[in-house]
Structure 1
Amino acid sequence: MNRWLRLLLAGMVLAGGACTSLSPLQREQALAIAAQAQSTLDTCDRADACAEPSPLRALGTRAYAQSAPESPHHYALLLDYGQDALLARLNLLRSAQHDIDLQTYIFDEDDAGHLVLDELLAAARRGVRVRVLVDQLSALRHVDTLAALAGAHRNFELRIYNPVLGRAHINYPMYAFAAACCWRRLNQRMHSKLLLVDGIVGITGGRNYQDDYYDWDPAYNFRDRDVLVAGPVTREMTDNFEAFWGARRTRRIAELVDVGKRILREGVPVLPHPDFELPERARRMASDAADDALVDDRLASAALPVGEVEFIADLPRKHRRSHEGDVAASTHGLRELIASAQSEILLQTPYLVLSPAAQDLFRELHDRDDPPRVLVSTNSLAATDAFITYALSYKYKRRYLRDFGFEIHEFKPFPESAPIDPEATGAFDVQWRQDGTPVFTRATPPDSRRPLGREYSALRWSGFSANQPVPLARGGVRFGLHAKSMVVDEHIGVVGTHNFDPRGDNYNTESAVVIDDPAFARALADSIRRDMAPENAWTIARRPRPPVFSGLEYSLAKISEHLPIFDLWPVRYATSYEFMPGPGCPLPLPPSDPRFRDCYEPVGDFPEVSLGLKSVMTRIFTAFGAGLAPIL
């Protein structure tokens, strides 16, 4: 039998296996077995489900008491630090009296994931209705875990959104088959993220449920941002969650092929729970979540009173064929806000890849007689977790700087003053000098990333080079930007899940909280500006003009950039600059300042990157990657 015939037969077998499904009778049997296994024991008989008091939940009670239909009152709290974001979630889960609704793209089985899952199950056992909705491509790792959760407790239910091939998990061959048979559906993911407690307090933003969103990964973590909101806007959040919970693409886990067969074959297993990698860290976080004084001092007391809050969110119908080509609610709302800008836009996105419509919008803004200033905070190649996406962004830097007037600041992999907690990663032994400054000693193995952590689905299985941060010239725990936020005219603040990219426009469902309040907007602006500060980011600016033929070089580079396939012009328009403070340069300057090059030193296109094959690959994808824009 020749090689091609063997491959054809293997493909046919794979296709047959991938497309198998449970019969209606098998589905009902699996659901019945799971329901019968569910515990009915409630550990509390009080009306409040033995909820613990929480200053964060109290914000919701207070906001609703202060609100009237014509005069809503809210409280808003930025969650910049990963440790704070996890602390807030655990504290709120323990305060739930009636309902917990959790919606996320990624839910991992690591320390952070297990800690949250433990709290969700504890809430269910004391009488709280708990509903968890996870996208298929990033759901819990093991079929046994899902099968166990299907029969865990009558008050707990987990559902999977858009299970391609009718399964909870798909392996690489199944992924390849799904890409061949149903590429668009494979890419239509639920990127929305939401935690609601008793319908009065909600959290949304960039974070998923995985160690690297809370500074708990020993190799690579995300500098991310959430916002906690308390008040009447949570009704809109609840309605949006209900739409996804009952959507036609949402499935109960016991009726999925792999989970259902596991239950039919062996029954509902005991819920696996491996030991925490760093048990003392988990214990300390669990203890802190019960400390009302700590939560109040660190979190609740920092909440800002604000007026009206808007929740702009896509619905599951975005994924219906009848809605293809429509401008989704989240995209429409964000574009309207950008178009309304008069003086300044602060835009923060991990992946600076713009759709044609977004490019037209920014070009129109720049063409105004008095255009708003547009400052962009995004990842450097050294910091990003999405190498190919960065390559495409790199291709269009001339356009971003010259045609759109962007001021771009690229996040460093080892930021000095960003809201991060290197000690929490467990990657360092920490000692302290006499002057109080820390000394970190590397104590963990080299960088090791997992496909589950990827937020862009199309290239999830595309290989090591696409799913790994690039190698760096020095070691240490690396941080990459993941926050998705915007401030318009220092008056309107936006925190959400949308990366301002084509995936968010066309494939993913997204959501965002919009707060029209100067105090909140200033707080968010200060947070973004800190990420753009010289100690945390490099500034992108035009290279010095060549002494001769500068106009010809620019024209040839622009022509090369516009070619649909090839872009092989060897000299790029822009490069990275490092601020060099001194007597004549006390403060950072924008690239438009005539003194910019007196105070900034060029440090190359890819500072901190260990140059080699990756650099070559970047240029390859710069040359050939334009067609990937819609799925990135």
Structure 2
Amino acid sequence: MLQPRPSAALSSPGRGWLALLRIVAMAMLAAWAAGCANLPTNVARPVSHALEAPDDTALGRLVQQRRAQATARSDSGFRLLDSVDMAFTSRLALIENAQRTLDLQYYAIHADGSTEQLLERIRAAAARGVRVRILLDDFNSVGADAQVLRLAFLNNVELRLYNPLPGSRRSLVGRIFTSLADFGQVQKRMHNKLFIADNAWGIAGGRNLGDAYFGRGEDSNFVDLDVLAAGRIVRDMSASFDTYWNNELAFPVESLLDKKDLDRLRTPLNAASAPDVSQTPQATQPARVTATVTHTASVLPDVTTTGVQSRALDLQQVALTWAPSALMVDKPGKVGPGDDEVDAGDTLIDGLLALMGQAKTDLLIVSPYFVPGQPMMKVFADLRQRGVRIRVLTNSLASNDAPAAHAGYARYRKQLLALGVELYEMRAEQEGSAGGLGSGINAHASKSAFGSGGGVGGSKASTGRASLHSKAVIIDARLAVIGSMNLDLRSQLKNSEVALVIRSPALSRDSIRLVENSLAKGAYRLEWTNGALHWRAPAGAPFKDADSEPEASTKLKLLVNVLGPLAPDEML
């Protein structure tokens, strides 16, 4: 569960009781506040939909031109965004080329440098008449990140918050306290991530918006993966967006707060005695202990000009793979109140398990938070009985920003290895040559096993750790599933998710190459020998084998050992 960092007072025996009394008093006050905090009722939600005629736009015509040039039979084209530069500049391209509409759906948008660059372009698009709709999960829109909500008060921009929490936006912990009366609903989050321009081109994957997702984090960067899509599949993505946008859980920002509220939130940030309300670069997940990563977010007071230097991707030149495809997406009601909104077996993860069960030769899984649960373990057992090779890349304890998730995964390691599943854990400290997932991230020095070069916008190299955030499943080197989902029970039971399913040997091979390069240069392979786990470094790697959680502190190991037996899988 989410926990604040221990107070310094608790380390002093003479002051411990006083600190404990204060905590109890705060909890009692929070419980009272939870009964008083309510969301507004009778909220006006004007219904709107995606652009009906995308072919009448420049982006729509470009899709038809590119498809004709490729003499493609399939109606949708794709490009893996396998570097932070491609991930960022492709978004710039969609914004700059949009003529009619921009639709963004995200779990988290952080107020920092890379976001300022994107929002500057979005603001300019709105000024030239582009209709902008932004649908944001409400969980992380607090503190400095709440200033992103100022976009809602610009002409041609609408911003809605999904499944909002009542209470103050000054701190995340405070909002959770004021929502204790309905903690089950707090656990359910809209985790979808879509970026769509003129209903013709779009981006889907695991990446939120913020410095840490584009190789610019000061202390930590996420290794992530997106797909640029064009054509018919984008209309499916837009239809999914519309379903969430017009849902009763989507609240217009204006129904929850106004500019004066945002001004009051911003004022303490400029005061010398103000509390620290800056956010960590990763999007915090409910009911998970998140590793502390110091990061100072900019305030975005008025979403003003920042002097963008990044050049947008040339959509006329980018290579596309044309292939059959489908969109897998959870129903919006999965995040709704109660536990009966979605029928059993009717979630994205259930559909993904069915696809995985059809594998004939090879199954490759990339999941930062990997807590399989018994249904997935049964699928693995059936596949192994048929001789299917299964490989899993996930975070090590040191690279995982959610130690509680690692505790859930650790429960299954021995059983997975006994089945013959190959387990790989990514290192937190990366060094070596380029060519793997997340190219462009400088996680340690000037080079990384996940790519070389600085972050976007000419930023300097990060000196912090790397954390796997990519979500992908490759089946028989011919079917690639890339999206927002983690392979854990939280994604199956709590969060709504979206993913692209692309039947393409070429794109699947490209995905496998990225992952295998990462396995060969920046990941341990786990073994169970002589009754214990061992972490084996790849041949020729600059790091060594280990007999316990490599690179993790003793404190972190103890934390996981304490958490492991306590929390149920679906809470991790």
What TM-score, normalized by structure 1, do the two folds share? 0.71
Residue 342 of structure 1: aligned partner:
360
Larger Rg, first or second structure (1 or 2): 1
Give the distance between the partners of 1:166 and 1:438, measured in 2 at CA: 42
State whether residues 213 and 221 of structure 1, in contact with CA within 8 Å, keep that contact through their aligned partners in structure 2: yes
Residue 524 of structure 2: aligned partner:
538
Give the distance between the partners of 2:261 and 2:370, measured in 1 at CA: 42
Instruction: Give how far 1:489 is off.
Output: 0.6
Instruction: Give how far 1:24 is off.
Output: 6.6
Can you give the 5+ residue segments of structure 1 that lack an aligned partner in the other structure? 32-46, 432-436, 448-475, 546-553, 555-572, 582-587, 589-599
State whether residues 144 and 259 of structure 1, in contact with CA within 8 Å, keep that contact through their aligned partners in structure 2: no
Residue 173 of structure 2: aligned partner:
172
484, 493, 503: which is aligned to 2:480? 493
Which secondary structure state, in structure 2, belongs to the residue aligned with residue 384 of structure 1?
coil
1:38-75, Cα deviation, whole Å (9 max, x unpaired)? xxxxxxxxx99xx9x77xx765343677999x964221
Residue 506 of structure 1: aligned partner:
493
Which secondary structure state, in structure 2, belongs to the residue aligned with residue 509 of structure 1?
coil
State whether residues 160 and 252 of structure 1, in contact with CA within 8 Å, keep that contact through their aligned partners in structure 2: yes
2:154 partner letter: A
Instruction: Give how far 1:254 is off.
Output: 1.0
Aligned: 1:410 with 2:425 = yes
Instruction: Give how far 1:223 is off.
Output: 0.9
Instruction: Give how far 1:252 is off.
Output: 0.4
2:181 partner letter: C
Give the distance between the partners of 2:182 and 2:100, measured in 1 at CA: 40
Residue 576 to residue 197, structure 1, CA distance change in 2 (3 Å): same
Residue 182 to residue 325, structure 1, CA distance change in 2 (3 Å): farther
Residue 3 of structure 2: aligned partner:
none
Instruction: Give how far 1:359 is off.
Output: 1.4
State whether residues 188 and 319 of structure 1, in contact with CA within 8 Å, keep that contact through their aligned partners in structure 2: yes
Aligned: 1:303 with 2:320 = yes
540, 549, 561: which is aligned to 1:619? 561
Residue 398 to residue 59, structure 1, CA distance change in 2 (3 Å): farther
Give the distance between the partners of 1:446 and 1:93, measured in 2 at CA: 26
Residue 461 of structure 1: aligned partner:
none
Instruction: Give how far 1:422 is off.
Output: 6.1
101, 104, 121: which is aligned to 2:103? 101
Give the distance between the partners of 1:3 and 1:515, measured in 2 at CA: 55
State whether residues 351 and 378 of structure 1, in contact with CA within 8 Å, keep that contact through their aligned partners in structure 2: yes
Q: How does 1:177-326 map to 2 (within 5 A)?
A: 177-178=178-179, 180-256=180-256, 258-259=257-258, 262=261, 272-273=301-302, 283-285=308-310, 288-289=311-312, 292=314, 300=318, 302-306=319-323, 308-320=324-336, 321=338, 322-323=340-341, 326=344
1:255-300, Cα deviation, whole Å (9 max, x unpaired)? 11x448728999xxx9714899xx7xx7331xx12x74xx655xx1
Aligned: 1:604 with 2:544 = no
Q: How does 1:345-424 map to 2 (within 5 A)?
A: 345-368=363-386, 371-403=387-419, 405-413=420-428, 414-416=430-432, 417=434, 418-420=436-438
Instruction: Give how far 1:183 is off.
Output: 2.0
Residue 510 to residue 58, structure 1, CA distance change in 2 (3 Å): same
**% of aligned pairs identical?**
27
Instruction: Give how far 1:174 is off.
Output: 3.3
State whether residues 213 and 221 of structure 2, in contact with CA within 8 Å, keep that contact through their aligned partners in structure 1: yes
77, 80, 83: which is aligned to 1:78? 80
State whether residues 327 and 505 of structure 1, in contact with CA within 8 Å, keep that contact through their aligned partners in structure 2: no
1:494-547, Cα deviation, whole Å (9 max, x unpaired)? 1111111101100000111111121111111111211211x211111122x3xx
Structure number with higher helix proportion: 1
Residue 577 of structure 1: aligned partner:
536
What TM-score, normalized by structure 2, do the two folds share? 0.78
Instruction: Give how far 1:3 is off.
Output: 10
1:599-632, Cα deviation, whole Å (9 max, x unpaired)? x9742222233x422222233334x24x331022
State whether residues 193 and 497 of structure 1, in contact with CA within 8 Å, keep that contact through their aligned partners in structure 2: yes
Which secondary structure state, in structure 1, belongs to the residue aligned with residue 322 of structure 2?
strand
Aligned: 1:516 with 2:503 = yes
Residue 541 to residue 12, structure 1, CA distance change in 2 (3 Å): closer
Aligned: 1:60 with 2:89 = no
Which secondary structure state, in structure 1, belongs to the residue aligned with residue 401 of structure 2?
coil
State whether residues 215 and 424 of structure 1, in contact with CA within 8 Å, keep that contact through their aligned partners in structure 2: yes
Can you give the 5+ residue segments of structure 2 that lack an aligned partner in the other structure? 1-17, 46-52, 266-298
State whether residues 168 and 174 of structure 2, in contact with CA within 8 Å, keep that contact through their aligned partners in structure 1: no
